[in-house]
Amino acid sequence: MTSKTLSSWMLIAGPIVFFVVIMGIWGAVIGEGETAAEDVANIIENQTLSAILVMIGSIGFVSIFVGYALTAWYRADGSTTVGTLASVASLIFVGLAAISMGFTGAHFGVIGGGEENPVESAWIMAIIDNSFSAIFWFWALGNIILGAALFIEKKINNIASLLLIVWGVLVVLMHFTVEIEGIRPIGFIIFIGMMVVPIIYGAFNLKSES
Q: Alpha-carbon torsion 3, 4, 7, 9, what sign?
A: negative
Which of the four pLDDT bands, split at 50, 70 and 90, describes residue 11? very high
User: Could you tell me if 146 and 181 are in contact, meaning their C-beta atoms sit under 8 angstroms apart?
Assistant: no
Q: What is the pLDDT of residues 45-100, one digit of tens each?
A: 888 898 999 999 999 999 999 999 999 998 888 778 999 999 999 999 999 999 99
How do residues 18-39 score in pLDDT, each as one tens digit? 999 988 898 888 878 778 888 8
Q: Could you tell me the residue range of the domain that residue 85 belongs to?
A: 3-206
Question: Of 102, 105, 110, which Cα lies nearest the Cα of 47?
Answer: 110
The gap from C-alpha 49 to its chain's centroid, in whole angstroms, comes to 22
Closest CA to 144 of 163, 126, 157: 163
DSSP tag of 46 = T
| Residue 181, pLDDT above cutoff 70 | no
Would you say the pTM of this structure is higher than 0.85? yes
pLDDT digits 0-9 by tens, 151-164: 998 888 889 999 99
Domain count of the chain?
1
